[in-house]
Amino acid sequence: MTLMHKFLATAAVLSLSAGAAAAEPALIFDLGGKFDKSFNEAAFSGAKRWADETGGTFREIELQSEAQREQALRRFAENGNDPIIMTGFAFGNVLGEVAPDYPDTKFAIIDMVVDAPNVRSVVFNEHEGSYLVGMMAAMASESDTVGFIGGMDIPLIRKFACGYVQGVKAVKPEATVIQNMTGTTPAAWNDPVKGSELTKSQISQGADVIYAAAGGTGVGVLQTAADEGILSIGVDSNQNYMHPGKILTSMTKRVDNAVYDAMEAGTDIETGIYVMGVGNEGVGYAMDEFNADLVSADMQAAVDDAAAKIGSGELMVHDYMSDNACPVE
């Protein structure tokens, strides 16, 4: 028993001293997986950029089950990892319970607000970014019919859809927006085949620009849109490179910046709510050499103008999640 105590005490001292030295940050990916070419991958690229630039290392885990959320948080916290960054709103409840148990560890959660003194909550105004790409979709459309393909049918994705529709209608009030959700289970985040089918169906209904906010499913949407010769809009990461000249733009959500900032700040990370919107370039649209020919100067000027107005607060884009309703269909 005493031997055991001595061992435990030594272990505690060791882990304390390890914590006092440069603590290793940890990154927890949600069930979608690290290489979803979208949300989680953006987080990974931010972490990787930090590691490459600073020579630091970080721990990471891809979750396999719901029960592992709490487990991963506790194991990393007990291991002395700091800060612990997690991607996805699904961590909200668990973090709310775990954070108070480890007051000396800092946590950062993306896409959710958790009210605890040692948590940084990073939220994005996706409706603003979606509004901007909605405007571009409407301007690029010749049939005045555009499409939206969401991943799993949850409020967050309806928030994307609602911002997008508002943007479309701001340019062409008479335009039609066809909306589809890929599915009702988490599998909908990673079903490119279904994404492809939905794309074909929307094309047959006349859509000539389709916005995919569907994680890995979007890969199928972008592929089919490119094959069928219509335009598409990527999401989260800049996906323009995937089909050069076929992707109108991408609604970028700079999850990578959020992760990079958190790792850069390290144990001194500022806590509280951290909103990333159009104003502070947390969301936006992607321009690069791959879509330069698709976006005219007029289009870009109109969108930049709207972005400035959103940034200054002159233009308010309705947030679906504020009242669970969208003013336009």
Partner 1 sequence: MDRMPGWADAILVPLISLLLAAFLSALVIIGIGESPVAAFKLMVEGALMRSAGWGYTLYYATNFIFTGLAVAVAFHARMFNIGGEGQAMIGGLGVALVCLYIPWPHWSLALLGSAVGASLFGAAWALIPAYLQAKRGSHIVITTIMFNFIAAALLNYVLVNVLRPVGAMDPATAKFPDATHLPTFQDMFSTAAAPMFRGAPANVTFFLAVIACVLVWLLIWRTRLGYEIRALGHSEPAARYAGISPVRTVVIAMLISGGLAGLMSVNTTQGEAERLILNSIEGAGFIGIAVALMGRNHPLGVFLAAILFGFLYQGGAELALWTTIPRELIVVIQALVILFTGALDNMVRMPLERIFLSLRRRKS
Residue 194 or 246: the one with the smaller Cβ distance to partner 1 is 194
Contacting partner 1 (CB under 8 A), which of 18, 49, 70, 197?
A: 70
Residue 43 or 90: the one with the smaller Cβ distance to partner 1 is 90
Residue 54 or 93: the one with the smaller Cβ distance to partner 1 is 93
Taking CB under 8 A as the rule, does residue 12 contact partner 1?
A: no
Residue 49 or 75: the one with the smaller Cβ distance to partner 1 is 75
Residues 114-173 that bind partner 1 (CB under 8 A): 153-156
Taking CB under 8 A as the rule, does residue 71 contact partner 1?
A: yes
Cα torsion angle, 284, 290, 291, 293, sign: positive
Residue 153 or 264: the one with the smaller Cβ distance to partner 1 is 153
Taking CB under 8 A as the rule, does residue 61 contact partner 1?
A: yes
Q: Encoding tokens for residue 284?
A: 């936006």
Taking CB under 8 A as the rule, does residue 36 contact partner 1?
A: no
Residues 209-248 that bind partner 1 (CB under 8 A): none
Contacting partner 1 (CB under 8 A), which of 10, 15, 57, 184?
A: 184
Can you give the chain as a three-state secondary structure string? CHHHHHHHHHHHHHHHHHHHCCCCCEEEECCCCCCCCCHHHHHHHHHHHHHHHHCCCCEEEECCCCCHHHHHHHHHHHCCCCCEEEECHHHHHHHHHHHHHCCCCCEEEECCCCCCCCEEEEEECHHHHHHHHHHHHHHHCCCCEEEEEEEECCHHHHHHHHHHHHHHHHHCCCCEEEEEEEECCHHHHHCHHHHHHHHHHHHHCCCCEEEEECCCHHHHHHHHHHHCCCEEEEEECCCHHHCCCCEEEEEEECHHHHHHHHHHHHHHCCCEEEEECCCCCCEEECCCCCCCCCCCHHHHHHHHHHHHHHHHCCCCCCCHHHHCCCCCC
Taking CB under 8 A as the rule, does residue 2 contact partner 1?
A: no
- Nearest approach in angstroms of CB 88 to partner 1 is 10
Contacting partner 1 (CB under 8 A), which of 3, 21, 65, 173?
A: 65
Taking CB under 8 A as the rule, does residue 267 contact partner 1?
A: no
Q: How far apart are CA 12 and CA 119, in angstroms?
A: 24
Residue 67 or 292: the one with the smaller Cβ distance to partner 1 is 67
Taking CB under 8 A as the rule, does residue 57 contact partner 1?
A: no
Contacting partner 1 (CB under 8 A), which of 12, 14, 22, 67?
A: 67
Stretch that binds partner 1, among 90-98, 198-206, 230-238, 307-315 (CB under 8 A): 90-98
Contacting partner 1 (CB under 8 A), which of 273, 321, 327, 329?
A: 321
Binding region for partner 1 (CB under 8 A) = 31, 33, 59, 61-68, 70-72, 74-76, 89-90, 92-93, 98, 101, 111-112, 153-156, 184-186, 321-324
